[in-house]
């Protein structure tokens, strides 16, 4: 079914956040606060929201700045902000958490993020972990290291030559385009997203998906991923927090699952005691739109059940 509710929520950052809510069927047990990926939008999570609702979980998902129907004077499509983009994105997420706390004061919140949303979710966790009961970090890559520094250098050069508000010319070639070419016998440039041809076709046909991000947005996205790669940032996160780190073996965006394993191993070394991770065989980038999504979502539900008992 469609989302139960759609509305605009004003953030202290000045953004009007397009929020979609799917209420649980029956008595709710928790809220899943979903953070979507780069160059997509909240409405693409309707199927996942229905799945969650059937299991007693509310789903709240908003369009991030520069995405979907969210509006902000400093954030046209493809740009987070004129300055302090990551901080404003995290503040917007906190605004949704404030709303959840006011509307569902007795329900625990499970933080969920896919791809860019995984970076957003992890960065939110690093600064607001007391608000989160459990966290699912999906399809991210926080092990960029030298490559991340190279990307920031390229973006600095582009910003000097082209400006910050124009689409990056080089980052799409190094990411989306390179990932598309990496899929053997690919039919479209976006086959790296999923083996489900119908889902890929829907993404390509969606005018709010697949656009080229600005130089400044790419800089902010890479910076958030690099921040998630610093162990020092995890100091304030409780070590018994339930965490699920998930990805696909055939996902070039996470270095074919190596980024998933790297983050999990880092957090285990830091003493996180309630962590599970899984890299799904033959699975590409969008786990929720893959041909094995039913299995992956069932695994999420089982993990969430355990996390809510923790």
Which pLDDT tens digit goes with each residue over 265-276?
999 999 999 999
- Please state the length of the chain: 310
Q: How confident is the model at residue 150 (pLDDT cuts 50, 70, 90)?
A: confident
Q: What percent of the chain has pLDDT over 70?
A: 99
pLDDT in tens, 63-88: 999 999 999 999 999 999 999 999 99
Residue 144: pLDDT over 80: no
pLDDT of residue 148: 76
Q: How confident is the model at residue 151 (pLDDT cuts 50, 70, 90)?
A: confident
pLDDT of residue 2: 79
- Quote the CA–CA distance of 82 and 75 in Å, as a whole number: 7
> What domains appear along the chain, each with residue ranges and CATH number?
5-143+228-309 (3.40.50.1820)
Q: How confident is the model at residue 240 (pLDDT cuts 50, 70, 90)?
A: very high
Mean pLDDT of 257-283: 97
Which carries the bigger pLDDT value, residue 73 or residue 148? 73
Q: How confident is the model at residue 1 (pLDDT cuts 50, 70, 90)?
A: low
Q: What is the pTM of this model?
A: 0.96
Contacts of 3 (CB under 8 A, 6+ apart): 20, 21, 22, 43, 46, 49
Dihedral sign (CA 97, 27, 44, 193): positive
pLDDT of residue 139: 98
| Residue 281 CA: distances (Å) to CA of 76, 190, 248, 296, 307 | 38, 19, 6, 11, 24
Q: What are phi and psi of 34, to 5 degrees?
A: -100, 135
Which carries the bigger pLDDT value, residue 1 or residue 283? 283
Mean pLDDT of 179-191: 96
Average pLDDT of every residue of the chain: 95
Q: How confident is the model at residue 138 (pLDDT cuts 50, 70, 90)?
A: very high
């Amino acid at each position: 079914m469609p989302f139960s509710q759609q509305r605009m929520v004003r953030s202290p950052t000045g953004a009007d956040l397009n929020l979609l809510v799917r209420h649980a069927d029956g008595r709710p047990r928790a809220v899943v606060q979903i953070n979507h990926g780069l160059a997509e939008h909240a409405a693409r999570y309707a199927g996942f929201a229905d799945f969650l609702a059937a299991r007693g979980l509310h789903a709240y998902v908003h369009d991030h700045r520069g995405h979907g129907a969210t509006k902000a004077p400093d954030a046209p499509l493809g740009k987070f902000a004129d300055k302090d983009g990551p901080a404003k994105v995290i503040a917007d997420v906190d605004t949704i958490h404030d709303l959840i706390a006011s509307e569902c004061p007795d329900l625990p919140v499970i933080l969920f993020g896919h791809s860019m949303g995984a970076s957003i979710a992890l960065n939110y966790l690093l600064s607001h972990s007391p608000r989160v009961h459990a966290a699912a970090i999906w399809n991210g890559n926080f092990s960029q290291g030298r490559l991340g520094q190279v990307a920031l250098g390229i973006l600095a050069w582009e910003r000097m030559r082209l400006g910050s508000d124009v689409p990056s010319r080089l980052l799409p070639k190094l990411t989306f385009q390179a990932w598309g070419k990496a899929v053997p016998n690919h039919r479209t440039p976006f086959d790296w997203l999923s083996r489900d041809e119908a889902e890929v076709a829907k993404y390509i046909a969606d005018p709010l998906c697949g656009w080229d991000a600005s130089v400044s947005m790419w800089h902010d996205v890479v910076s958030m991923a690099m921040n998630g790669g610093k162990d020092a940032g995890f100091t304030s996160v409780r070590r018994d927090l339930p965490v699920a780190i998930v990805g696909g073996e055939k996902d070039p965006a996470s270095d074919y699952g190596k980024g998933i394993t790297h983050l999990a191993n880092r957090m285990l070394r830091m003493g996180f005691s309630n962590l599970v991770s899984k890299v799904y065989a033959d699975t590409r980038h969008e786990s929720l739109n893959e041909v094995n999504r039913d299995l992956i979502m069932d695994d999420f539900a089982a993990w969430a059940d355990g996390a809510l008992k923790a």
